[in-house]
């Protein structure tokens, strides 16, 4: 029978229409965060927090993503990803979407959130609403606290336009008159010192009942004349410049990574300009002047109706005076296996312990290292650190261990973006305590989350390990969802030991028993498992893949998923942020479903599930790696299986909560947009994060 000429031609898997541009996908994630500010089921201060997180996310988006695209344009051969979009095209699309969403952000703030907060007694008092008492108090505060530390800069041939730091608050002031030197300057720049709060609380005796604040920018606007004595201020307008903040070290030319990094951290504050935010009442001639100074175009200008530095409002979201406007607090639980034991190592000889933060406490991870530091039978501790925070109990335990004579080796990744300075300080502290500090591998960021304890028991050396999907940061463990595995499994612990030898020493890695690690075995094994599911489906066996990650951008992995989908494999992807795979394309990805969960916790755990022909054969892996080129090819990552049937079944069940969520799940459509899931008429509400909190966490505690 001749082929049906009317049937559509099959789509090649490298067709650009099957892929979504990574930066446009990241922008969609930021928009999903902003949408949470409109969710009336979320407490009011938490809605404000989501709006501020959107602002913070957009800052980083411009500092890193937009800056990277602009840098690509200057190259003779810009990188074109599988979506086929040129960097200039991407920038144009980003500008259209970003302008719409930033305008929408300020509409939500001014029309929805601020009026609702005012109804609750939380007010941001604008100048037009200042009472005489507030005016007098503001004047006194300004002259006592603000005027002495600000330094207006008049612009003339001897005082050129100043070099302004990334994301700093500044004012452009239009002047009239002549100063003592006979200069008719016309313009001045007023940088707001970083030491000054951007939001000042008005004493209740002055402002009345409730929680009342005034913006620093309002104070400066009201008293700008006082800073230019004898001259007339025609206008004072706030603005903020965003710069390229991505470090650009050529690692092959670096002899001393720490020294080179210190120099780059200073340069980060003064990278190339990528965005200008100005008050929406700033006159066009001043706006054009600023654009010329920063070599920016109209597309890179954002006029805002409100403060240009919204992230400084985060302190408001932590108000303890209005507990009903915040999420009810809860106490993370301690698993039963660890509640009554005084010897964590004895517990781990009997069973692995799996923790799911923040529903289960991060304290056992800290205790694991603290006990190791104090136990006379422990000989050595090895640890990777990517982000741990400035005040880290983990680092305290490692310092204590080193001072107690243990052999402590710490692999610190200095290049963890925006944590470089903190990591340099941690490295110095550990070295001062006597620990051996390694800065990871040049060209490969150490992103794996591993700790290894070597202990002498009855004359034999025994290993224990912690492996995680998230960072050794106790604060993040209260906000991010991440898995931690504490184990005494000899094979897995030996693998961890071998990986540390590979990181610290020289020579080729020994074969691993259970651990998959990038950039060596992780990609190839993942592809093999996808191909196995594909073969199972073609053979009529059940086939299912569930992947929970933060980002999916790697074209090779996406093509493998496309082929599996074509073979009939059911594929569920839970991707919090960037997803370059376009689902729902007939004949290619119609068996693939993509969802993003946005809620109280930042979804950060990475889980890989493969049905492997049926129950009893299933494979579940936890990992530090997303499915991005950088994670699979240019980072040290660890991926570890759950060898306990009980723990495997538990994680499978928890994945099911996410797949059935119909209240906080955003479903990726074939056109690249996301739609919020909603329950069918006969279905009950399902909220994965609330279900996990109810199942794993303790009862709510009093605020």
Give catalytic residue positions: 447
Q: Which DSSP helix (H) or strand (E) runs through 180?
A: none
Where does 61-185 have alpha helices with state H? 67-73, 87-107, 114-119, 132-141
Residues of 549-559 as b/e, b for ≥16 C-beta within 10 angstroms? bbbbbbbebbb
Cα–Cα distance for residue pair 146/506, rounded to 1 Å = 56
Beta bridge partners of 579: 552
Cα–Cα distance for residue pair 486/356, rounded to 1 Å = 12
Bridge-based pairing state of the strands 570-575 and 544-549 = parallel
Residue 671 phi/psi, 5° resolution?
Answer: -85, 5
Look at residues 45, 575, 106, 86 and name the one whose alpha carbon lies nearest to residue 317: 45
CA distances from 651 to 388, 479, 608 (A): 26, 19, 10
Helices (H) and strands (E) in the chain, counts: 22, 27
Structural contact between residues 570 and 3, judged by C-beta atoms closer than 8 angstroms = no
Residue 608: strand, helix, or coil: strand
Tokens read off for 332: 């993370």
Residues of 275-297 as b/e, b for ≥16 C-beta within 10 angstroms? bbbbbeebeeebbebbbebbebe
How far is Cα of residue 636 from the mean position of the Cα atoms in its chain? 19
Could you tell me where the beta strands, DSSP code E, fall in 390-429?
A: 407-412
Residue 688 sits at the vertex; the CA angle it makes with 682 and 691, to the nearest 5 degrees, is 90
Cα–Cα distance for residue pair 436/447, rounded to 1 Å = 19
Cα–Cα distance for residue pair 674/113, rounded to 1 Å = 24
CA distances from 271 to 69, 71, 297, 356 (A): 14, 12, 17, 39
Cα–Cα distance for residue pair 242/62, rounded to 1 Å = 7
Cα–Cα distance for residue pair 667/175, rounded to 1 Å = 53
Structural contact between residues 407 and 380, judged by C-beta atoms closer than 8 angstroms = yes
Where does 157-230 have alpha helices with state H? 204-207, 216-222, 224-227
Tokens read off for 546: 């569930």
Residue that the structure tokens 């402002």 belong to: 207
Structural contact between residues 138 and 219, judged by C-beta atoms closer than 8 angstroms = yes
Tokens read off for 477: 């463990």
CA distances from 299 to 34, 98, 430, 573 (A): 22, 10, 47, 35
Which residues are within 8 A (CB) of 24 and not within 5 positions of it... i.e. 6 or more apart?
85, 90, 93, 94, 97, 672
Which residues are within 8 A (CB) of 607 and not within 5 positions of it... i.e. 6 or more apart?
469, 483, 546, 547, 548, 620, 621, 622, 623, 651, 655
Polymer length in residues for the chain: 703
């Amino acid at each position: 029978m001749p082929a049906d000429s009317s049937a559509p031609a099959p789509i090649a898997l490298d067709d650009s229409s099957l892929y979504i541009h990574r930066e446009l996908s990241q922008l969609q994630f930021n928009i999903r965060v902003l949408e949470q500010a409109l969710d009336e089921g979320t407490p009011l201060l938490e809605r404000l927090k989501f709006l501020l997180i959107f602002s913070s996310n957009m800052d980083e988006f411009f500092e890193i993503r937009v800056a990277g695209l602009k840098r690509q344009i200057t190259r003779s051969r810009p990188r074109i990803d599988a979506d086929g979009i040129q960097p200039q095209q991407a920038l144009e699309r980003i500008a259209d979407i970003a302008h719409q969403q930033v305008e929408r952000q300020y509409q939500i703030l001014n029309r929805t959130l601020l009026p609702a907060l005012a109804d609750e007694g939380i007010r941001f008092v604008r100048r037009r609403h200042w009472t005489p008492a507030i005016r007098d108090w503001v004047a006194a505060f300004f002259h006592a606290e603000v005027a002495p530390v600000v330094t207006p800069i008049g612009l003339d041939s001897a005082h050129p336009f100043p070099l302004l730091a990334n994301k700093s608050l500044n004012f452009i002031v239009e002047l009239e008159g002549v100063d003592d030197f006979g200069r008719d300057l016309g313009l001045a720049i007023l940088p707001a010192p970083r030491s000054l709060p951007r939001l000042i609380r008005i004493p209740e005796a002055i402002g009345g009942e409730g929680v009342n604040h005034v913006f620093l920018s309002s104070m400066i606007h009201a008293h700008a004349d006082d800073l230019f004595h004898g001259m007339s201020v025609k206008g004072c307008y706030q603005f903020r410049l965003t710069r390229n903040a991505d470090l650009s070290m050529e690692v092959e030319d670096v002899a001393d990574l720490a020294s080179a990094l210190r120099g780059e951290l200073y340069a980060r504050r003064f990278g190339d300009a990528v965005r200008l935010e100005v008050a929406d009442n700033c006159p066009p001639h001043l706006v054009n002047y600023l654009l010329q100074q920063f070599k920016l175009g109209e597309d890179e200008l954002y006029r805002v109706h409100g403060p240009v530095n919204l992230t400084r409002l985060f302190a408001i979201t932590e108000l303890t005076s209005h507990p009903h406007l915040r999420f009810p607090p809860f106490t993370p639980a301690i698993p039963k296996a660890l509640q009554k034991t005084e010897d964590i190592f004895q517990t781990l000889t009997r069973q692995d312990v799996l923790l799911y933060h923040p529903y289960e406490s991060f304290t056992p991870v800290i205790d694991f290292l603290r006990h190791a530091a104090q136990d006379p039978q422990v000989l050595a501790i090895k640890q990777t650190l990517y982000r741990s925070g400035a005040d880290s109990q983990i680092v305290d335990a490692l310092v204590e261990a080193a001072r107690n004579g243990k052999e402590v080796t710490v692999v610190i990744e200095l290049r963890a973006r925006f944590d470089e300075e903190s990591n340099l300080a941690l490295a110095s502290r550990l070295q001062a305590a006597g620990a051996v500090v390694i800065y990871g591998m040049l060209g490969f960021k150490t992103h794996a989350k591993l700790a290894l304890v070597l202990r002498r028991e009855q004359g034999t050396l025994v290993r224990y390990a912690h492996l995680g999907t998230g960072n050794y940061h106790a604060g993040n463990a209260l906000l991010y969802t991440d898995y931690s595995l504490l184990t005494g499994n000899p094979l897995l612990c030996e693998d961890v030991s071998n990986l540390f030898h590979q990181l610290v020493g020289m020579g080729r890695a020994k074969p691993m028993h259970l651990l998959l690690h990038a950039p060596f075995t992780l990609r190839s094994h993942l592809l093999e498992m996808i191909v196995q599911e594909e073969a199972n489906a073609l053979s009529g066996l059940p086939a299912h893949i569930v992947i929970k990650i933060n980002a999916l951008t790697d074209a090779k992995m996406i093509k493998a998923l496309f082929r599996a989908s074509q073979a009939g494999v059911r594929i569920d992807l839970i991707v919090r942020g960037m997803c370059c795979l376009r689902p729902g394309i007939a004949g290619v990805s119609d068996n693939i479903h993509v969802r993003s969960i946005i809620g109280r916790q930042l979804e950060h755990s990475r889980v890989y599930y493969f049905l492997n022909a049926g129950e009893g054969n299933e494979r579940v892996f936890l990992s530090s790696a997303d499915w991005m080129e950088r994670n699979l090819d240019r980072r040290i990552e660890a991926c570890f299986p759950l060898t306990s049937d009980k723990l495997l079944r538990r994680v499978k069940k928890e994945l099911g909560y996410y797949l059935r969520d119909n209240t906080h799940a955003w479903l990726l459509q074939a056109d690249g947009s996301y739609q919020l899931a909603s329950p069918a008429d006969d279905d009950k509400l399902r909220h994965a994060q609330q279900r996990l909190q109810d199942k794993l966490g303790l009862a709510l505690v009093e605020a």
